[in-house]
Structure 1
Amino acid sequence: MTNSAPFTACQYGADAELTHDPAGISNYNESVYVNFVDPLGEVSALMRIGNRPTMGYSEATVQLTLPGGRIALRAGREPNETNDRWATQGLEIAVKEPTRTLEVNYRNTVALIDTPSLLAERGRQALKNAPSLECEIALTFEASVPLFTIAEDGDCTPGSSQIATDHYEQFGHVSGTVRVGSTTWTVDKATSFRDHSWGPREWASYNGEWLAAWLADGTAITAYGEIEPTGERASGGVVVTPDGVFHPIREYTVYTDYAGEATYSGRNTAVITADGLPTLVLDGSINHFVPVTQRTADRAARMGQMSVRYAGGQGGWGIAEFLRPLTPPAR
């Protein structure tokens, strides 16, 4: 039996779960994203589809982090001028019960990559030379908190980057199976985060950090930090405590010297100040570091994606990103 009442704490409800009219926006992007971390099975994943109908294609990413530092990856585009569903490259993300339940399915191959740093400058070559394995993913996302935004107007980031004009997020859990080659992981209520955004997107405009984290006590965090052209820092996000209360983030400071390199040997260390909570200090070891390059016609940015395990009193785990502009654009 389904619950017809929308599960939302913001201006977006069941209707927002549908696709939207590109309205002639030349760099329009409508994106759905789901991740999960299973600390017991030591596997995590991020899965994303972006429709760019006015640019004539859709794009998909399936990235699995596996025990031992390896990753399994598929990332690509295919021609598409429609914006009626999220299905491409063998990946489909479908809303089954708006604001509450998603189905995530994937059936295609993935490249098994032992050295993710090769993706930074030689991504196509690394994917071509890596062993190709059959992959099947069948997961159900179930929301644990209502839909929420990090800004009242739904802006995707707290700063000036052009990433989306409408955007909402949600924490939940996923259950199902993930198979890579002959190995299958059963996922049982693994911590998960998803979002949906639409509007103009300019990947290379962003300079900052992002984090989705789950602490051992049940606290969930999504945090954004952006370095403005003036050098000032804009912060946003929320901390959701185990009692279900949302605490807006006022400051998210990341201590790193990362500048877009192919590798990073430091830690993921951040301090978060949120309304009504003591200061949170998150200090994490990086289990996987995956450098992805996003390009537009005249610019490029390096997105360093990480799986993180936190130490000390704020023990937990997360998926994080450092995103830095590259000048001149990488070739």
Structure 2
Amino acid sequence: MPKKEDTDVLHKAGTHPDWSESFYFNFYDKGNDLLAFMRIGLKPNKGEKNIFCGMIMPDGTVLATKSDIKSSGSDLSAGGLAFTKEVPEKLWRLSFDGQLFKSDRGKPVPEHVSFEITFDSLNEIFNYRDCVSGYKEQISSRVASEHLEQFGRARGTIVVGGKALSIDGLGERDHSWGIRDWNAPLMWIWITCQFSEIHALNVTKLVVEEGEVDAGFVHYGGRNVPIKSAKVSTAFAQDGAPESLEMALEDADGKVHRLSGIVLKMATLPFKSSDSARLSTLYEPLARFAMGGEVGYGIAEYLVRKS
């Protein structure tokens, strides 16, 4: 049997200044009521790495850091955050040792945080090209059009302010590459939910001036079934943050999956364009989802252009 090709490799950079290769992980430990999310983005044409790393604690306190670090290296480490591939398309080690910041009356307060986590994937890697081609691929070309997705189990230890927490949760990982312009879309919605180790979903709805692009999968019966269309209705707060949502997802088998979600707690990250002419806000909320008789948890991420 021929050896399977590893798709978790670095790709030859394009020529655009905002060409990026990004690795992202999130997980939610229900027992500790702790959500963690993190990203390392390589921007070789700018000689920098973009990172963010955040946690939402049980009381809703957000601990986070976000920075652009000058570096021409291609290793997946920066600012104390590191991702190490242990088994291709299967097992990753996530580590961090540094300061995350919480807000106290508008002022950042540092908190020392460290973690060692293994992320063990539970499904075959899914390629968004199984959903998107032709014109829709063209109109998504400024938002890292190449996307690989997997859900998995995260286990390890997180230490916050000297207190150690044993972690065991479910989450999602994303590997994307291409032009990454955070201010190009009017909005993107990226939703991940894990109901169990055998049932999960991933949904993207990208909204640009030229139209909308839907992608993702529903994993059930041991298969990743591509999503053909995603209808998402969102209730927003006055400040523009998502509060709840309803979805109808039609998969490639013709099955329609209907589910609802409610935001439990949330972190926000600002993204300014290089000329400061545009501002987008990334909402990174923990949400609880209900579908049929099942309840799951995940991230209902909204990137909304504000100006």
Same fold, TM-score > 0.5, yes or no: yes
Query: 3-state DSSP class of the match of 2:45?
Result: helix
- 1:292 corresponds in structure 2 to 269
Aligned match of 2:86: 96
What's the counterpart of residue 319 of structure 1? 299
**Residue 20 to residue 208, structure 1, CA distance change in 2 (3 Å):** closer
Distance 2:197 2:294 in 1: 8
Q: One-letter code of the match for 1:99?
A: E
Q: Tell me the CA shift for residue 271 of structure 1.
A: 2.1
- Cα 1:234–1:165 change in 2 (3 A) is closer
Give the Cα–Cα distance (whole angstroms) in 1 for the partners of residues 266 and 92 of structure 2: 28
2:256 to 273, 279, 290: 279
2:69 paired residue number:
78
Q: 1:172 to 1:159 in 2, by over 3 A?
A: farther
Whole-Å separation in 2 of the counterparts to 1:46 and 1:132: 18
Could you say which residue in structure 2 is the equivalent of 1:145?
123
Deviation at 1:29, TM superposition (A): 0.7
Distance 1:34 1:217, change over 3 A: closer
Please list the CA deviations of residues 77-121 of structure 1 after superposition, one character each: whole Å capped at 9, or x if unmatched. Answer: 211123x21100100011111111111000001113478xxxxxx
1:121 is matched with which residue? Answer: none
Q: Is the 8 A contact 1:158 1:224 kept in 2?
A: no
After the TM superposition, which parts of structure 1 deviate over 4 Å for at least 4 consecutive aligned residues?
Answer: none
1:62 equivalenced with 2:62 (yes/no): no
In structure 2, what is the equivalent of residue 209 of structure 1?
189
One-letter code aligned to 1:201: R
After superposition, give the CA deviation of every residue in 1:43-70 in whole Å (9 maximum; x if it has no partner).
Answer: 1111100111211211111111110111
Distance 1:251 1:282, change over 3 A: same
1:111 aligns with 2:101: yes
1:233-272 superposed Cα distances (whole Å, 9 cap, x missing partner): 321110001x2112111221221254993645x3133222
The answer to whether the Cα contact below 8 Å between 2:122 and 2:197 also exists between their aligned partners in 1 is: no
Q: Secondary structure at the match of 2:126?
A: coil
Alpha-carbon distance between aligned partners in 2 of 1:260 and 1:292, rounded to the nearest angstrom: 18
Give the CA deviation at 1:192: 1.9
User: Structure 1, unaligned stretches of length 5 or more?
Assistant: 7-12, 116-125
Secondary structure class of the residue paired with 1:151: helix
Return 5+ residue gaps in structure 2 as ranges: none
Decide whether the 8 Å contact of 2:113 with 2:159 is kept in 1.
Answer: yes
Q: Does 1:176 align with 2:160?
A: no
2:108 matched residue in structure 1: 130
State the partner residue of 2:287.
Answer: 308
1:144 aligned partner, one-letter code: L
1:154 Cα deviation from its structure 2 partner: 8.0
Per the alignment, residue 244 of structure 1 pairs with 222
CA distance in 1, matches of 2:62, 2:116: 18
Matched residue SS, 2:164: strand
2:234 aligns to what SS in structure 1? coil
Select the structure that is richer in strand.
Answer: 2
The code of the aligned residue for 2:48 comes to Y
Change in 2 beyond 3 A, CA 1:272/1:130: same
Q: Counterparts of 1:35 and 1:158 in 2: how far apart (Å)?
A: 26
Query: Any idea what SS the aligned residue of 1:92 has?
Result: strand
1:26 aligns with 2:17: yes
Amino acid in the other structure paired with 1:147 = I
Aligned pairs, number: 299
Residues 176-228 of structure 1: per-residue CA shift (max 9 Å, x gap): 0111113322112x212112122211111122311010125841100011224
Counterpart of 1:122 in structure 2 is: none
Q: Does structure 2 retain, via aligned residues, the 8 Å contact 1:301–1:324?
A: yes
**Separation in structure 2 between the aligned mates of residue 45 and residue 252 of structure 1, nearest angstrom:** 26
If the length of structure 2 is used for normalisation, what is the TM-score?
Answer: 0.88
Aligned-residue offset at 1:37: 1.2
Structure 1 or 2: more helix by fraction: 1
Greater shift, 87-96 or 48-57, is seen at 48-57
Aligned to 2:170: 191
Please state if 1:44 is matched with 2:22. Answer: no
**CA 217–175 in structure 1, closer or farther in 2 if over 3 Å, else same:** closer
Displacement after TM superposition at 1:140 (Å): 0.7
Task: Assess, with a 3 A threshold, how the Cα gap between structure 1 residues 154 and 166 changes in structure 2: closer, same or farther.
Answer: farther
8 A Cα contact 2:20 2:41, kept in partner: yes
Tell me the TM-score normalised to structure 1 length: 0.82
